[in-house]
Structure 1
Amino acid sequence: MAINEIYQYSLVNALMSGVSDSGITVTQLIEKGNQGLGTFVRMDGELLLLDGTVYQLQAEGKIRVAEPDDQIPYAAATHFRSQQTLTVKLESKDSIEAVLKKFDDHANNLFMSYRIEGVFSRLKCRTVKGQEYDGQPLSELGKNQFVAEYEDVEGTIVGFRSPSTWQGFFVAGEHMHFIDKERKIGGHVLELEADEVTIGIATVNNVHIELPTSDKFNAAKMSTDDVGLKSVEG
């Protein structure tokens, strides 16, 4: 795939419908990019792809390096190369949108990928604990997720900004996963603050989506639950 082209396997709506029992392998995902995010079979934790390594960010703050044959029911990845790097202060998660608009004010209907590095004064992260029964939807899992807050932690955030019209295919707006420098803590970012971090940004206008061919995917009744998605994805 080309630089700054997004590859995605499956749909967020599939996770909302509880379809997460199989997917592509870690080895296959690494071929699609050098950074990305997603989840694992049964939605067991958060996935973060960073510089060729796939990490499983598990509940209770644990992290493991994924095995090559671990399966991934949903992920988005890109061969990231920054088009511009800025040093910024982030007062909240919402302030990232202002940074992206400053980079390209005409990209409202395009995707953006980015990487944020530095010391975060405050982070609130969650990790989904995994399905308790077959077909359990993501919105229900979100009611029992593990949430942790961190202060003055150094690390990296991998993120995508998706247009609002793509809600259900992607997560509309900001979708970010964090891992600390020591590779000991991380998760899906709900809130953040940082006095000075660097953010590398790239605009993306080429998206490739690969759909599963499993019976469960084809049988699932999918619709876009905007309220449910916003509640679980922050």
Structure 2
Amino acid sequence: MAPNEIYQYSLVNALMSGVSDSGITAAQLIEKGNQGLGTFVRIEGELLLLDGAVYQLLAEGKIRVASPTDQIPYAVSTHFEPQHTVTGEGARLENKEALDVVLERYNNHASNLFMSYRVEGHFRRVKCRTVKGQEYEGQSLAELGKKQFVAEYSDIEGTIVGFRSPRTWQGFFVAGEHMHFIDKDRKAGGHVLELEADDVRIGIATINNLHIELPTSDKFNSAVMTTDDVGLKSVEG
């Protein structure tokens, strides 16, 4: 794939329907980009792809490097090359919503396009969640979100990888902001719920080229999928 194109395996709606028993391998995902997000089989933890390594961000703040054969039922990735970089006062983030302001400042004509970004540096505060994995086959992501593990980190250095997707793509992707964090020592992280930062570098790229690969499993093909906008907002934060 060329730089700043999106590769996605499966659909968010599939996770919302509990379809998560198989997928591509971590080794295959690494070939698709240098940064990305997703989850693992049985929705066990959050996935973060960063510069040749796939990390599994688990509940209780544990992190492991995925093995090449670990299976991934949902992921989105890109060969990220920043088209614009913001530093200094322009990169000050008083909250999660402030990041969207930075993206709009770079390209205010991208509301119906995708954007990818990487935020690196010192964070005053990052609030993250991780899901603990399905308790039974077919358990939905929305239900798992009711029992998610939440941790708050202060005065921490690390990296956020994220994507912004158009509202009309809700259910295929997560509409709006979707971002995962990992600290520089690879010991803490998760799906970002809240953030504050005043000393970071923000790389941004606009994306209009997407490649979506759908599973061919019986469970995927037999799942009844609908877009649960309320459920997605509750679990994604």
Q: Please classify the TM superposition score into its range, dividing by the shorter chain length.
A: over 0.9
Tell me which of 214, 218, 231 is aligned to 1:211.
214
Over aligned residues, Cα RMSD in angstroms?
0.4
1:103 aligned residue: 106
The one-letter amino acid paired with 1:125 is C
Runs of at least 4 residues of structure 1 off by over 2 A?
A: none
The one-letter amino acid paired with 1:135 is G
Distance 1:195 1:105 in 2: 23
Identical-pair percentage:
79
The one-letter amino acid paired with 2:146 is K
Tell me the SS of whatever aligns to 2:146. Answer: helix
1:69 aligned residue: 69
Deviation track 1:105-142 (CA, whole Å, cap 9, x = no partner) reads 11110000000001110110000000000000000000
How far is 1:195 from its partner?
Answer: 1.4
Tell me the SS of whatever aligns to 1:189. Answer: strand
Distance 1:145 1:106 in 2: 35
How far is 1:196 from its partner?
Answer: 2.1
Distance 2:130 2:202 in 1: 23
The one-letter amino acid paired with 2:8 is Q
Distance 1:196 1:118 in 2: 6
1:39 aligned residue: 39
2:224 aligned residue: 221
Deviation track 1:48-93 (CA, whole Å, cap 9, x = no partner) reads 0000100000000000000000000000000000001101100111
1:6 aligned residue: 6
Structure 2, unpaired ranges of 5+: none
1:135 aligned residue: 138
TM-score normalised per structure 1: 1.00
Pair 1:193-2:213 in alignment: no
2:156 aligned residue: 153
Deviation track 1:179-222 (CA, whole Å, cap 9, x = no partner) reads 00000000000000011211000000001100000000000000
The total of aligned residue pairs comes to 234
The one-letter amino acid paired with 2:173 is F
2:175 aligned residue: 172
Mapping of residues 72-91 of structure 1, within 5 Å: 72-87=72-87, 88-91=91-94
Tell me the SS of whatever aligns to 2:152. Answer: strand
2:56 aligned residue: 56
The one-letter amino acid paired with 2:141 is L
2:120 aligned residue: 117
Distance 1:195 1:176 in 2: 18
Tell me the SS of whatever aligns to 1:144. Answer: coil
